[in-house]
Structure 1
């Protein structure tokens, strides 16, 4: 089965640089329909920039040329797959690396462990995933506490007050991820605020500025990014040393310290988890509450499930698998919001999709944002409808795309857990209402994010 990574688009961007400088000779796109390069050196890069994002470019590409289409990064052809059927056919038998780790760490300039063999890569991946799973088990009461604090704050608001989802839920994600990843040092709000400053500076440049080279052209932006990255790395190294001396075994970094990873590898894995975990968790929660605020029927159905399964008790890890409709709500949130709109893989051996041959070393893009709203796969694709996941065909398609099942990246699994705690606590106490006249615009970058602050109003359940 295909292993889609939540941040695979970062791999695309890294490969652009490699393509332009390491492979100057052109190849034919094997007869696959698509765009001719508009520039001899840059291919269709300016077309992507003009569309505003790679996702929007892929939407127009597949509308014009069908579910298998080609374009050009520099002097190299790229193949994009825009339907479930084509993605199902594209199995890479030589896949051994974790594309999430490879791509995000490459973008950050991290190379430790990248040259190891397949066994080393698999072992490191298992250590990383196990560390996240153990962290959730050991610290679930803390997740519940942080969520209850936020819900309690919202309950104190007047019913007419506008509540900003992005500000509050990014704050919740930051507190949850930092404390579960790095320990009680981040119970101090000043530490979280400092962490957030550097986090925002790094994340705002990841996936932005690399495609068109604008980051390297701006000394001030590059300096700000480098300073934030250096400060973040220093904090993570310091925390790891402190935790090692204390010999604690409760949070994410503690699990890494018990492994055979080097100090540098531990710092890099902490960077990946904290960077990605905060953004994915925050945006999954933001979009889930936004969509719930637009559908009273979905809220009431979720409320009834929570009452039936949990009663008056708080949610627990062992009860989460029983919350099937809650899972459907989160699945539909990921699908409707196109939470991660693009993924990619380098074709390591010659492959074939339909009648099209894909040569070795071709970059193959998975246009997930296109597939997630493909009318051939999803009925009424632009409608928020969690009931669609009662059908086995919908669940299988979602699993194939890497958003559920064994192929789900650990950061998304973490986000699902936090979001489930949030929904199970919030929906039993409050009702969410859409703010009239608010228009939602989306930034389809590495993770789909509301372009502006998203507001709702709340009322207490009687």
Structure 2
């Protein structure tokens, strides 16, 4: 089974950009069919822009070239896999490193954990997962409280009032994520707003300014970035000192404080977790938004979910131990992830040579030569005036999950929201293979599922969701409508 990190779509371009920043370019896609670069410098970047999104670009790419295809980022070839069978074949047994974490730390200038051996990487990964799982357990009452507050607010609205899902659920996600990561300091809205402001300032420059060099050309932008980074680091060090003095064991940072890590290492790991925390926030927010949107379009699904909640929970509030018994709720969330393509793309650096169908995906590729020809890896050319050095780097492989999740060969009526499809064992196995469920699910996604389950259990037992008249939506074939910019619902009392 493939083991890869699930990234929110907002991180995909950053990941690819970071790869390009840290590794040189290449000139051949190992014979894999695909697009030729439309621009010598930018590769197929303009083609991606013209399609409107990276996902739509990959849909078009795989429609034209099949389930294994290639394209160009700058001078570097990238391999994209677009079907369950091809992902199943992709061989990558060395699963000890987190390429995204390594790249993010490199961009921030941090050193802790970078270049660590396999045993240390495995230990850090286990520690990281244990920290998230413990924080989930310890903060479950908080999740329930925040969800109940939101439902109580909605209950007070008139039935005809349109409720903006994005605006309301962003607050729910931010409150739970910051408290889970850093503790009680973030029960204050002012602290959350300050955190979000600095977080966004740092991330926007990592995502763009570092990649295109534009930040270095603007002293004001660089000043804002450095100020935000300094304030975030100071806040994290302050939180670590407070938590250590209090000896609490409820937040992610507490688990790090119990380890043998140095203060600087703890700060750096908290910074990476805080920045990557927008993956968690985005997953929580978007999963909840889409789940409520889809439920508002189907009274039948709402009623079926309500019956399960009544049978399993009765009049009791939801508890962590009862979540595994809510099988239909899990199906609703699985189908939400699949239909809405919450994570349309993931990426991984090829760590060993692999083969998909008849195509070999090399572990390493060499840089492009200035004189237009390519030489094997680990060789160096000096031809007099045109001195060229060949750098060795790992191949970037894109998992086109959004393409796979809409593949009619894997999913019957792929555009229809149908939680009942996950009663089928084949559908569940395919979903597990993609990393969205089962033992391979990343801790961040498990957290998003937990928050969404708590919200649905609180809301569906008290309220019915309805689509407001005139909702601006894009109607796709087979019964799916997708909200534009903001999704709206109206509610009515269930009892």
Q: TM-score, normalised by structure 2?
A: 0.86
Query: Is contact 2:22-2:103 (8 Å) kept?
Result: no
Partner of 1:446: none
Matches within 5 A, 1:164-175: 164-175=164-175
Distance 1:97 1:297, change over 3 A: same
Distance 1:214 1:441, change over 3 A: farther
What do residues 214-245 of structure 1 show as CA deviations (whole Å, max 9, x unaligned)?
Answer: 66666555544443333222212210111112
Out of 312, 315, 320, the residue aligned to residue 318 of structure 2 is 315
Q: Give me the whole-angstrom Cα distance separating, in 1, the residues matched to 2:223 and 2:473.
A: 33
Measure how far apart 1:93 and its partner are.
2.5
Measure how far apart 1:3 and its partner are.
1.5
Larger deviation, residues 4-13 vs 252-261? 4-13
Partner of 2:298: 295
What do residues 260-312 of structure 1 show as CA deviations (whole Å, max 9, x unaligned)?
Answer: 22323323333325333222211111111111111111111100100010011
3-state SS of the aligned residue for 1:319? helix
Distance 1:217 1:3, change over 3 A: farther
Query: Is contact 1:128-1:269 (8 Å) kept?
Result: no
Query: Is contact 1:305-1:325 (8 Å) kept?
Result: yes
What do residues 136-193 of structure 1 show as CA deviations (whole Å, max 9, x unaligned)?
Answer: 2122111111111111111111111111111111101111112222122112222122
3-state SS of the aligned residue for 1:285? helix
Matched, 1:283 2:316: no
Measure how far apart 1:212 and its partner are.
5.7
Measure how far apart 1:40 and its partner are.
1.8
Larger deviation, residues 406-415 vs 256-265? 256-265
Query: Is contact 1:79-1:363 (8 Å) kept?
Result: yes
Larger deviation, residues 236-245 vs 246-255? 246-255
What do residues 201-224 of structure 1 show as CA deviations (whole Å, max 9, x unaligned)?
Answer: 445556556666666666555544
If you compute each CA radius of gyration, which structure gives the higher value, 1 or 2?
Answer: 2
3-state SS of the aligned residue for 1:267? helix
Partner of 2:414: 381
Matched, 1:327 2:330: yes
Partner of 1:268: 268
Instruction: Flag structure 1 segments of 5+ consecutive residues without an equivalent.
Output: 443-448
Partner of 1:445: none
Partner of 2:118: 118
CA RMSD of aligned residues (A): 2.3
Partner of 2:156: 156
Out of 304, 309, 315, the residue aligned to residue 306 of structure 1 is 309
Q: Give me the whole-angstrom Cα distance separating, in 2, the residues matched to 1:407 and 1:218.
A: 43
Pairs aligned (count): 452
Matches within 5 A, 1:83-102: 83-102=83-102
Q: Give me the whole-angstrom Cα distance separating, in 2, the residues matched to 1:190 and 1:283.
A: 23
3-state SS of the aligned residue for 1:365? strand
Query: Is contact 1:5-1:99 (8 Å) kept?
Result: no
Matched, 1:439 2:472: yes
Q: Give me the whole-angstrom Cα distance separating, in 1, the residues matched to 2:401 and 2:314.
A: 37
Distance 1:152 1:108, change over 3 A: farther
Q: Give me the whole-angstrom Cα distance separating, in 2, the residues matched to 1:434 and 1:161.
A: 11
Matches within 5 A, 1:4-403: 4-7=4-7, 9=12, 10-19=14-23, 22-23=24-25, 26-106=26-106, 108-204=108-204, 207=207, 220-271=220-271, 272-273=273-274, 274-361=277-364, 362-403=395-436
Partner of 2:388: none
Measure how far apart 1:134 and its partner are.
0.8
What do residues 428-455 of structure 1 show as CA deviations (whole Å, max 9, x unaligned)?
Answer: 000111123223479xxxxxx9762221
Distance 1:138 1:18, change over 3 A: closer
Q: Give me the whole-angstrom Cα distance separating, in 1, the residues matched to 2:443 and 2:17.
A: 22
Out of 453, 456, 459, the residue aligned to residue 489 of structure 2 is 456
Instruction: Flag structure 2 segments of 5+ consecutive residues without an equivalent.
Output: 365-394, 476-481
Query: Is contact 2:105-2:114 (8 Å) kept?
Result: no
Measure how far apart 1:392 and its partner are.
0.9
Query: Is contact 1:14-1:106 (8 Å) kept?
Result: no
Q: Give me the whole-angstrom Cα distance separating, in 2, the residues matched to 1:367 and 1:319.
A: 34
What do residues 41-96 of structure 1 show as CA deviations (whole Å, max 9, x unaligned)?
Answer: 22212222332322221111111111111111222221110000000000212332
Matched, 1:410 2:414: no
Distance 1:343 1:155, change over 3 A: same
